[in-house]
Amino acid sequence: MDHVDSFIFEGLHLLVAEDGENLRSRNTRVAYLADGQFWVNNHAHVLQSNSRSDIRYLAYAIEQSDLSRYLTGSTQPKLTKTALESMMLELPPLGEQQAIAEVLGAIDDKIAANETLAERAEALASLTYDSLVADWRRVAMSTVLQPILGGTPLRAREDYWKHGGELWVSARDITAAPARVVVDTAEKITSSAIAETKAKPLPTGSVIFTARGTVGEVGRLGRPAAFNQSCYGFRPDVVPPGLLYFSILRAAERAKAVAHGSVFDTITKATFDHLDLAWDEGQAAAVEAALSPILEISTVAVRENRTLREVRDALLPELMSGKLRVRDAAAAASQAGA
């Protein structure tokens, strides 16, 4: 396990982050495989396998480990070379390591392929939208759209949050959404919260616009979801889902450009009187028919990745502990689409 500074490597190696703040979270990916020719600075450790270990298996084993136990320093915690060398990892026979890595790697490969597909489909839909609405007249957003303000259930009410299964969107969920499609949220609320508070869910295809804190980010719902009061929601109605998404996205982009680097710190309902969008009610259905199937490709890929990640995260500790046989794990991965 070598800690390096600006050396060039070739082949397949494992990079492990040194930054302790990220390593504190068990949900943070800290081990990455690098292949080909590359270089690293002194904020990462580089590992190379030997005759007893498979480098891909090591990546999963380190990811599964509780690295926070090995951090040193309180102000800026780090994972030092000495601490990394002291880690104890279970190493089954090499053939078993390779089999485990192959199962998990197949899921990761499918996730990566879906991410590329989702991004390319969204990009194609974006070009299609710009081309088809280029000659439309521009109208104020508030003339065709009705912004809906979200809400946060009372934190003191445990029955609103504990064991909640309903999506509840905040700005961080929008910024983290792959291809801007929201299919999961960091926090969830209960059905009681939905019934008794202002945190009402919007349907699939609705668009969320962040209005405070992180301002001007846009995401579309791949599943029904409520959202907090730092966001505005837009329900597809007169403006269908695909047109709704790109209309709001383009408005956000123009608003940021007009700000010219100044503080773009808040959005109110009055703001939508000054933001415009391209609109032609007579042609809206035809343009939506062109956009909808392309965006659906992106949405399906993101939804599938949510399932794949759940399967991957469930299989990882079971395979590493030996509680699950590779054959059974491979069957589970196959059923999930990997």
Highest mean pLDDT among 23-37, 75-89, 252-266, 280-294: 280-294
Domains 2-91 and 137-279 share a fold: yes
Structural contact between residues 326 and 99, judged by C-beta atoms closer than 8 angstroms:
yes
Domain ranges of the chain: 2-91, 137-279
Q: Is the dihedral of CA 331, 334, 336, 338 positive or negative?
A: positive
Q: How far apart are CA 35 and CA 28, in angstroms?
A: 21
**140 backbone dihedrals φ, ψ, rounded to 5°:** -65, 140
State pLDDT tens for residues 192-210: 999 999 999 999 999 999 9
Q: What is the total residue count of the chain?
A: 338
State pLDDT tens for residues 107-160: 999 999 999 999 999 999 999 999 999 999 999 999 999 999 999 999 999 999
Residue 14 has pLDDT above 90, yes or no: no
Other CB atoms within 10 Å distance of the CB of residue 44: 19
Structural contact between residues 308 and 111, judged by C-beta atoms closer than 8 angstroms:
yes
3-state helix, strand, coil in the chain (%, to 5): 45, 20, 35
| pLDDT score at 116 | 97
| pLDDT score at 123 | 97
Other CB atoms within 10 Å distance of the CB of residue 178: 21
Residue 26 has pLDDT above 70, yes or no: no
Q: For the residues 54-64, what does the mean pLDDT come to?
A: 86
Report which of residues 23 and 211 the model is more confident about: 211
- Taking the CA of residue 148 as centre, how many other CA atoms within 13 Å lie in the half-sphere pointing to its CB? 19
Report which of residues 273 and 304 the model is more confident about: 304
Residue 259 has pLDDT above 70, yes or no: no
Q: For the residues 49-75, what does the mean pLDDT come to?
A: 82
3-state secondary structure of 202: strand
What is the percentage of the chain residues whose pLDDT exceeds 90? 57
CATH topology classification for 2-91:
Adenine-n6-DNA-methyltransferase TaqI; Chain A, domain 2 (3.90.220)
3-state secondary structure of 209: strand
The CATH number assigned to the domain with range 137-279 reads 3.90.220.20
State pLDDT tens for residues 266-292: 788 888 888 999 999 999 999 999 999
Local confidence band at 1 (pLDDT 50, 70, 90 cut-offs): very low
Local confidence band at 189 (pLDDT 50, 70, 90 cut-offs): very high
> Exposure pattern of 97-124 as b/e (b: 16+ CB <10 Å)?
bebbbbbbbbbbebbeebeebbbebbee
**pLDDT mean across residues, the chain:** 87
State pLDDT tens for residues 154-178: 999 999 999 999 999 999 999 999 9
**Environment class of residue 38 by beta-carbon count within 10 Å: exposed (0-12), middle (13-18) or buried (19+)?**
middle
| pLDDT score at 325 | 84
